[in-house]
A = this chain, B = another copy of it.
Amino acid sequence: MSLENLRQVKILAFDVFGTVVDWHGSIVGEVRQMQLDVDAADFVRAWRAGYKPAMARVMSGELGWTRIDDLHRIILDDVLAGFNIELDEPARVQLNLAWHRLQPWPDVVSGLHRLNTRFTTCSLSNGNLSLLADMAKNAGLPWDLILSAEVFKAYKPHPDTYLGVANVFDVRPEQVMLVAAHHDDLAAARECGLRTAYIERPAEFGSDQLKDVSPPAGSGNDLHMSDFHALASALEVPE
């Protein structure tokens, strides 16, 4: 895209699960520590696979507004049953909070600090506010503002989330750039007029199931970057 258009961007909004933090590696580590009799990588992928269907139940109206913490717990109980794992209530509560303790990819903390010198940065995650606040505190993520589906009472990819960011900061949609490792999220943001940057996270689903992160033909993203420092350089932020 033209540098002129990029220079209009004021707000960088970041997808979180997979883009900022390594949910798979982090939760696999916790499951292994618990010594559950299960393939940790498969277990965690099954837990995550329940995420979009659970949000769809909320957005269809079948469930009232429900925090991701509560959706994660509903899915966890199903997945534990599916894998025939016995786990008492305190252990379930503790495991469910693993999403509050996800670890960032190695470029993230220094990359965000660098981006913060020129832009206002915020999360735009389907994760709930307390999950994102705990994660930021634990991992040292220097958000200028934590925004969540919980603020807009709609889950991505609903337009209210992307346009909600522009509204909060009182800017035009094209002054907001969504940064994400997922093409569906970016496509929905583009439909709302946001700028978009794809970030390559090949190991999002584990190093045994690498995902294709090559630039698709005509994806329409303004940028396609290897990590947050490459993004910062493309946006002309000094190192």
Q: Which residues of chain A have a CB within 8 Å of any CB of chain B?
A: 67, 69, 116, 120, 122, 128-130, 132-134, 136-137, 144-147, 150-151, 168-170
Q: Note all chain B residues with C-beta closer than 8 A to A116.
A: 137
Do B168 and A145 touch (CB < 8 A)? no
* Closest 3 A/B residue pairs (Cβ): A133-B145, A130-B169, A133-B144
Do A130 and B170 touch (CB < 8 A)? yes
Do A137 and B144 touch (CB < 8 A)? yes
| Smallest CB separation, A205 vs chain B (Å) | 29
12 A-B residue pairs with CB within 8 Å: A69-B170, A116-B137, A120-B133, A129-B151, A129-B168, A130-B170, A133-B144, A137-B144, A145-B146, A146-B146, A150-B168, A151-B151
What CA separation (Å) do A188 and B170 show in the bound complex? 30
Do B168 and A130 touch (CB < 8 A)? yes
Do B150 and A137 touch (CB < 8 A)? no
| Smallest CB separation, A129 vs chain B (Å) | 5
Q: Note all chain B residues with C-beta closer than 8 A to A144.
A: 133, 136-137
What CA separation (Å) do A192 and B76 show in the bound complex? 33
15 additional contacts (CB under 8 A) given A122-B133, A136-B144, A145-B146: A67-B170, A69-B170, A116-B137, A120-B133, A120-B137, A129-B145, A129-B151, A129-B168, A130-B168, A130-B169, A132-B145, A133-B144, A137-B144, A146-B146, A150-B168
What CA separation (Å) do A120 and B69 show in the bound complex? 18
What CA separation (Å) do A123 and B155 show in the bound complex? 24
What CA separation (Å) do A168 and B150 show in the bound complex? 9
Q: Note all chain B residues with C-beta closer than 8 A to A128.
A: 168
What CA separation (Å) do A136 and B144 show in the bound complex? 8
Q: Note all chain B residues with C-beta closer than 8 A to A147.
A: 129
